[in-house]
Amino acid sequence: MTRALFAALFATASLTTPAAAKTAFDGVWLFHKAPPTPGVTMMEVTSKGAKIEGRVTTLWYGPVDMMNPRIADGKLLFEARNINDRDHPTRSWSVSLKDGKPHLEGQIWESPIAIDGYRGTAKDAKARAFRFTPLPPLGQTIPSKLAATPPMGWSSWNKFAEQIDDKTVRAMADAMVSSGLRDAGYTYINIDDGWQGKRDASGVLQPNAKFPDMKALTDYVHARGLKIGIYSSQGPRTCAGYEGSYGHVAQDAKSFADWGFDYLKYDLCSGEWFYADADTVKRSYHEMGAALQATGREMIFSLCEYGRFDVGSWGRDVGGQLWRTTGDITDDYETMAEIGFDKNGNAAYAGPHGWNDPDMLEIGNGGMSADEYRTHMTLWAMSAAPLMMGHDLRETDAATLAMLTNRRVIAIDQDSRGVQGKAVRKQGALEVWAKPLADGRVALALFNRGTEGAIMALAAADAGFTSITQVENQWSGATEATLPASYAVPARGAVMVVVKGQ
């Protein structure tokens, strides 16, 4: 998901200038830019004699002081730092007045932004005041008995982004059942970003108008033999600019439990500003993990912090059952392959009740070929990755359904031993992976990452055997007594077999 437009470091800065006691920029200025790319919501500028001070309050990061504010050529100039972009850590901003209205110009990432605003009041400023909440200390390890195998289900983000609603979630639950996906093992229906409304006078977060009754929705999903998940961020705003859990962690955990949710995806998003090092990130996830545990309701806790700070080494300790190893997947081979082959986490961290998560499946969204999607499914299964579909389940064609419900392939992913497979041989664009299974057999996968078809061979040694006594092709179901001399592996394609041997 798109993350912050910009962030500024807390560093009070001012510059002595020949300005008058007051400048034309003094006051409270309000700006509006709707989600999913929220802009500055408020700017406050005060001049005290020759001293200019200012701060901006963003939807994402609360109030931050302007760096080096000054007036030149009729414009208010200041700097802000972008903590998400190491190559371009500092951005310059300017505010000009046009007919008494402020016009903000600057650059975020590689894209310029220009938005208009208007003069507000002290009351507006008070309404947008932001209170910083200290984190509790890192507590004891939170034990878990959930997710003995990688979770399987569906999530709304890849297809619907923040355009998700109650009706669509119910339709996905119905399609999960009618298509046979539930019976194949997919059990979670997860609402990602975009469900949040505002907090009431007591601070309790309410769903927005698209979700009129969360308890009725969870009851509907549960009645179909499924479980249901929800999404939040430890920052003040989610990735799409909606209300996050900052300052309301225990309160939100209780709401999720009271509504009947079974799964929480917790996304760092605007929390990147508040929790920018290993210690604070761990503590922010532990805070929610402990809050979920305190509700007494069993909920899968999915950590989404993009693989930072060696998350697999501590994800279980904060109550997590899965942790993202990377940024977001997109529906193209290059991104999927980079994530699946190179950013799928340390295999030593994976096992029952704790899994490396290379993000959701894109199968069915149409951006890749059948061979590329087969690589996608094979790679996730060999990696013991969570299998969270991301397409519109109502539009699942026969080929997609066959790929997603192949019980032999799913069994490799769901093997109770919980070993994450990894490469045992590489030669240029060709890779052979192995994954030991609970029954003593070994799953082997041949991957051709090249753009031309390739002839590849397997050896008993790839599985750690001296000889092979049975070979089962996981995609076709065909069995043989011995390994064939070679396999034809299409460009960007894969072959997966399970071998028995001595």
Residues marked active site are found at 267, 328
Q: DSSP readout, 21-64?
A: SS-TT-EEEEE---TTS--EEEEEEEEETTEEEEEEEETTTEEE
> How many C-beta atoms surround the C-beta of residue 202 within 10 A?
6
Determine if the peptide bond prior to 134 is cis (ω within 30°): no
Q: Strands 90-98 and 75-81: what pairing?
A: antiparallel
Q: Angle of helix 214-222 relative to helix 166-178, nearest 10 degrees?
A: 0
| Sheet strand arrangement including 101-108 | 62-65, 51-58, 40-48, 27-31, 111-119, 101-108, 90-98, 75-81, 67-72
Q: Is 398 exposed, middle or buried (0-12, 13-18, 19+ CB in 10 A)?
A: exposed
Q: Which long-range CB contacts under 8 A does 428-432 form with residues at least 24 apart?
A: 429/454, 430/454, 430/456, 430/489, 431/341, 432/456, 432/458, 432/462
Q: Angle 41-47-49 (CA atoms, 0-180°, nearest 5)?
A: 175
Q: Do you know the residue count of the chain?
A: 502
CB 1 within 8 A of CB 193: yes
**CA 67 to CA 500: how far, in whole Å?**
65
Residues paired with 431 in a beta bridge: 426, 447
Tokens at residue 186, please? 């997919």
One-letter amino acid identity for 102?
A: P
**CA 136 to CA 429: how far, in whole Å?**
48
Which residue bears the tokens 């190559």? 87
Look at residues 239, 257, 245 and name the one whose alpha carbon lies nearest to residue 288: 245
H/E run at residue 374: helix 370-382
CA dihedral for 108, 110, 111, 116, sign (positive or negative) = positive
